[in-house]
Structure 1
Amino acid sequence: MADLDVVAALIRKRAELADLIEHQQKEQKEIKRLTEVLAHIEATVTLFSPDFELRTGAEARPVRNRFFGPGECQRMVLDIFREAQGVALSSRQIGEALAARKALEPSTALIEQMQKNALNVVHRLQRTGTLVPAGRDGAGATWKVV
C-alpha cells in the first residue's frame, strides 16, 4: 500500500512539473514575441528621431566641439575649398588648414582631431551636393566643390 502512495505522489509531482514547464515555455514564447515588438518600435522611433536615446528616454545632446562654435567649422571648410580654387583636397589637408586657421600647435593628435572634424563636414556637404569625391591621393580620398 505504501508503494501506491509513493507512486501517486510522484505522478502528482510529475504533473505539477509538466504544467510548470509548459507555463515557462509559453512565457518564453511571449517574451520572445514582446522582444520582437520592442525592436520594431525602437526601429520606428529611430526613423523619426535618430538622436533619441532609447535607453534614457531623452534626446541625445550633440557633443560640443571645443575648437569650433556652431557652424564655424563648416564655414572654415568652405573657405578652405574656395581658396583652393578648384583643387581637390584630402581630409588631412583640410585638417591641417583648420589647425593653421585656428592658430593651434599642429601636433599629430590635434591634426587627427581636425581631420575628423573636416570629415564630418565634408560628408555633410557631400550629402547636400556641395562637394563631390575627386579621387584619391597619397593621403586618401579627396573632394572638390561642384
Structure 2
Amino acid sequence: MTGEIARCHARLQQLSDGLDHIDATIRLFAPDFVQESILPKVFTPPKSWSKRGEMSRAVLSILRVAKGPLSTREIASMIVQQRGLDADKGILDVMTRRVANVLRDKRSAGLVRSLEETGLWLQWEVVR
C-alpha cells in the first residue's frame, strides 16, 4: 500500500507540474486572463453504467425466467431494452462485453453454465 500511495503522490506531482506549465503558457499569450475562471470538467457516467452488483442481478434475473438457454447477445439486448437505452451497435457491443464478464464470473462461481457453442455466441443457463 505504501508503494501505491507513493505512486499516487508522484502522479499528483506530475499533474500539478503539468498544470503549472499550462498556466505559464496561458500567461505568456494572455496575461490578463484569469485562470481560475476555467471550471473543472465534472465527470458524469453514461446511462449505460451500472451500480455495483446491478448488472449481475439483471443477468441472473433474465436467465432465471428464461424458458431456455440464451446467448450473451440476447441477454445484453434484453438489458438494453429494460434500461430504455438506444439499441445502437455501440451500446449493444459494450453491454455484450459487460454481460460476458458477468457470465464468466458467475460460471466460475458455479451459478451459471455455458452450453456447447452454437454459432458466434455461447448459450447460457442458470445451474439448477
TM-score normalised by structure 2 residue count: 0.61
Q: Which SS does the other structure have where 2:115 is aligned?
A: strand
Picking from 98, 107, 123, the partner of 2:104 is 123
Q: 1:139 aligns with which of 120, 123, 126?
A: 120
Displacement after TM superposition at 1:139 (Å): 3.5
1:101 equivalent to 2:94? Answer no
- Following the alignment from structure 2 to structure 1, what is the Cα–Cα distance between the partners of residues 65 and 98? 19
1:1-146 equivalences in 2 (<5 Å):
56=7, 67-85=49-67, 87-146=68-127
Task: In structure 2, list runs of 5 or more residues that go unmatched.
Answer: 10-44
Counterpart-to-counterpart distance in 1, 2:126 and 2:99: 14
**Aligned-residue offset at 1:112:** 0.4
Q: Deviations over 1:15-58 (max 9, x none)?
A: xxxxxxxxxxxxxxxxxxxxxxxxxxxxxxxxxxxxx97x9379
Point out which structure has higher relative CO (alpha carbons under 8 A, 6+ apart).
2
Higher strand residue share: 1
Residue 117 of structure 2 aligns to a residue in which SS? strand
Q: Which structure shows the higher helix fraction?
A: 1
Q: Report how far residue 91 of structure 1 moved.
A: 1.0
After superposition, what is the alpha-carbon deviation per residue over 1:74-109, rounded to whole angstroms, capped at 9, x for unaligned?
Answer: 000011101203x11111111101101111010001
Which amino acid in 2 is paired with 1:124? Answer: D
Rg: which structure is higher?
Answer: 1
Provide the rounded CA distance (Å) in 2 between the counterparts of 1:89 and 1:122.
11
Give unmatched runs, 5+ long, in structure 1.
1-51, 59-63
Runs of 4+ in 1 over 2 A off after TM superposition: 55-58
Indicate if the aligned counterparts of 1:90 and 1:137 stay in contact, CA closer than 8 A: no
CA distance in 2 between partners of 1:98 and 1:118 (Å):
9
Distance in 2 (alpha carbons) for counterparts of 1:116 and 1:140: 12
Provide the alpha-carbon RMSD of the alignment: 2.7
